[in-house]
Structure 1
Amino acid sequence: MPRLEELDPAPAVVRPVLPRGAAPGGVQIVRVHDELLDGTISTHQFGGVRVAVVQGEGPRELIRPVRPTAPAGEGVLRVLRPLTGAVWAVQDDRHGAVRAPQLICLDSTRPYKASMQGDFRLVDVTVAHRLVGLTAAEAAALTARPWSGGEGLAALLSSLLEGLGRHGREVATAVDLLGGSVVGLTAALFAERMREGAEDPRIARQALMLKVQSSVRARLAEPGLNAVTLARSHHVSLRYLQKIFQEHGISPARWIRDERLARCRSELADPLLDHLPVALIGERAGLYGASHFSRLFRDRYGTTPREYRKERGTP
């Protein structure tokens, strides 16, 4: 079997994509991050999460090549949950095989391959990175690892996906209500797996860092948001919180301030928000006091907020 880095997406090298219902032996090249898989029979969209039920005849191969065959977009994590048959997946120098009720995850931003050797039916969930607070590099710890669907959060998500796969059409009027559950369980499962998969304290600290950063971005407008309140809300000591930020070359206070200023810069560059006073832009990100906001913004970007808005500076 060729190594992933040896796979070439050129049409002269790979077999053509077979249409739904074609003869066994099909190969599908996944051209865009969230491309639907051949054999999809139903889909449900929940914002940045899509759940698709896929059925096909094996053997079948899905290949995300080394060189993307379409412009890059927002990357997604792809969670596969077999209903019947088995899925074999390889990515990031790992491989794993799963059957119901197990789950396995792939990342669209790097090469991967999934194979089904016989007839199959599965649920394919694509989740935007931003919804689970992970970058592509951080998600590499989760890919191509079989997850038991028999206990804990994995069991809850597996059961939910099985229900959508088997009865989605019958509950079509209520299926949108399940979107929040899919998002929440998927994000919680990823966070849990990062903690459980930590073979050293560094990875555990990275998982906590992701959680803290996500919390900060959701609370920027709170004037009382600081390192002390962050440490308290995440049940760690202030010293420990400072340590994990120091590993990234920054302090918690500086990171919070930079995020606030970055939010302000983004809103000042948006013509749709020109009706908002500059001072209000600062307050929306937790920077109160027009002169204070202007001074911090000038120190960070070399221009005042008002001048930046007028000139439409680029990020």
Structure 2
Amino acid sequence: MDMPDARTAVPGAGPRDSRPGHEPAHVLRGHDDCVRGSAVRKQFGDVQIVVAAGGPHEAIRPARAIRPGPGAYLHLFRPLSGGIGVHQDGREGHAVAPQIVCCDSTRPYQLFLPRPFRLVEVLLPHRQIGMPPADTAKLTATAWCGRMGAGALLSQLLAGLDEHGTEIHSALDRVGGTIAGLAAAVLADRLRNLAAEDEVARHDLMLHIQAYIRERLSDPALTPHAVAERHHISLRYLQRIFQENGTSPARWIREERLARCRSELLDARLDHLPVGVIGERAGLFQASHFSRLFRDRYGVTPRGYRTMREPAAAN
């Protein structure tokens, strides 16, 4: 069904101070509230498109204005001129043409428009993109490139709606489906990239932590909790990245200590050191405990292991 354009003069439009924050921020109380300024709103099936223009200002959607229930949207912003900043989910992202940035109306967010702007805002119901709010939390407040791939197609499509959106009067559901489908493809691609980036970041962190542990094997205070605290991560996250490598932090530290002892027991230059001191140099300070761990790992006591090497060294 063809729906007429809804032209509204949003309160507060007109000349403003060029720095947001000099007057109370505009509160967005509904899931479909848009930024201040003059706005043209068009419905394409379940997808809403808003072309808005205005002066510098700030808008917030506080937690007190959010009520559970249907009607929530993922908001995509494609600046045409000026720019927009979005603060949500612990991040702050800034977008200028042809970039795209988004926020989710199910959680508090803040919008910053530091200078006169014109932008296209897309309101996408979660069901249209097949993505729950838990997944959108990984995508909000981060600018996406609009110059290549599916992101460029979506950016160009949204920019074209500014010029031609009001001329479309038929097949509105299909147009809305096209917008939602392309947006869903871009969102899915972003999630895949983030997963790959996260995997690389975890791998790099694992290597850094392993080097840190090896340098401090002799420290009796070297524990998984201390390692997590030193690297500003939770103990659970530390356990997770070690689990991905088939071990645990405590087991890896123990294995490295035993491997260090084994290497030093094989070194004839350290024969003057008692076996107990070899253990202490690797952070294993109780001789009986060290001997038991070593025997469990290598099938022989540390003293026996050193003795096994000596005949071979004499030949």
TM-score range, shorter chain: 0.5 to 0.7
- What residue in structure 1 maps to residue 97 of structure 2? 100
| 8 A Cα contact 1:168 1:175, kept in partner | no
- Inter-partner Cα distance in structure 1 for 2:112 and 2:153: 25
Q: Kindly indicate whether the alpha-carbon contact (under 8 Å) linking 1:79 and 1:104 is maintained by their aligned counterparts in 2.
A: yes
Indicate how the Cα distance of structure 1 residues 48 and 66 shifts in structure 2: closer, same or farther if over 3 A, else same.
same
State the TM-score, normalized to the length of structure 1.
0.54
How many Å separate the matches in 2 of 1:145 and 1:56? 23
Task: Report the Cα offset of residue 172 of structure 1.
Answer: 3.2
CA change 1:61–1:39 in 2 (3 A) is same
User: 1:313 matched to which residue of 2?
Assistant: none
Q: Which protein has the larger Cα radius of gyration, Structure 1 or Structure 2?
A: 2
Instruction: Please tell me the residue identity of whatever aligns with 1:62.
Output: A
Given the superposition, is the C-alpha separation of residues 72 and 19 from structure 1 closer, same or farther in structure 2, using an over 3 Å criterion? farther
Q: Does 1:189 align with 2:163?
A: no
**Secondary structure at 1:168 match in 2:** helix
Residue 46 of structure 2 aligns with which residue?
Answer: 48
Does the aligned pair in 2 maintain the 1:154–1:189 contact within 8 Å? yes
Match of 2:16 in 1: 23
Q: How many Å apart are 1:175 and its aligned residue?
A: 7.7
- AA of the residue aligned to 2:169: T
Q: RMSD across aligned C-alpha pairs, in angstroms?
A: 2.3
Deviations 1:232-286 (A, max 9, x none): xxxxxxxxxxxxxxxxxxxxxxxxxxxxxxxxxxxxxxxxxxxxxxxxxxxxxxx
CA distance in 2, matches of 1:90, 1:69: 16
Q: Which residue is 2:70 aligned to?
A: 73
Structure 2 equivalent of residue 131 of structure 1:
128
Residues 142 and 194, structure 1, Cα contact 8 Å, conserved in 2: yes
- 2:77 is the alignment partner of 1:84: no
**Superposition deviation, residue 37 in structure 1:** 2.9
Any idea what the Cα deviations from partners look like across 1:134-188, whole Å, max 9, x if unmatched? 111121011011100000111001000001113323x233583532221110111
- Alpha-carbon distance between aligned partners in 2 of 1:42 and 1:132, rounded to the nearest angstrom: 23
TM-score, normalised relative to structure 2: 0.54
Q: Which of these residues, 117, 140, 143, is aligned with residue 114 of structure 2? A: 117
SS of equivalent to 1:113: strand
User: In the aligned structure 2, how far is the partner of 1:103 from the partner of 1:76?
Assistant: 16
Contact 2:66 2:107 in 1 (8 A): no
SS state at 1:67 partner: helix
Distance in 2 of aligned mates of 1:145 and 1:36: 19
Q: How does 1:279-290 map to 2 (within 5 A)?
A: none
**1:19 alignment partner AA:** G
Deviations 1:92-119 (A, max 9, x none): 1111111000000101111111101110
Distance 1:146 1:175 in 2: 31
Distance 1:71 1:174, change over 3 A: same
Query: Matches of residues 1-315 of structure 1 in structure 2 within 5 Å?
Result: 18-21=11-14, 23-24=16-17, 25=20, 27-58=25-56, 60-68=57-65, 72-169=69-166, 171-173=167-169, 176=172, 177-198=174-195, 199-200=197-198
Q: Distance in 1 between matches of 2:34 and 2:171?
A: 19
CA distance in 2, matches of 1:152, 1:174: 28
Residue 30 of structure 2 aligns with an amino acid whose one-letter code is: V
* Alignment CA distance shift 1:172-1:197 (3 Å): same
For the residue of structure 1 that corresponds to 2:63, the secondary structure is: coil
User: Which whole-Å CA distance do the structure 2 matches of 1:160 and 1:133 have between them?
Assistant: 20
Measured against aligned partners, the alpha-carbon deviations of 1:43-69 in whole angstroms (never above 9, x if no partner) come to: 2212221111000011x1110102225
What is the identity, as a one-letter code, of the residue corresponding to 1:173?
A: H
- Note if contact 1:33-1:73 (Cα within 8 Å) is conserved in structure 2: no
Q: Is the 1:40–1:52 Cα contact (8 Å) retained in structure 2?
A: no
SS in structure 1 opposite 2:190?
A: helix
| 1:226 paired residue number | none
- Contact persistence 2:13–2:55 (CA under 8 A): no
Give the whole-Å Cα distance in 1 for the aligned partners of 2:141 and 2:160.
23
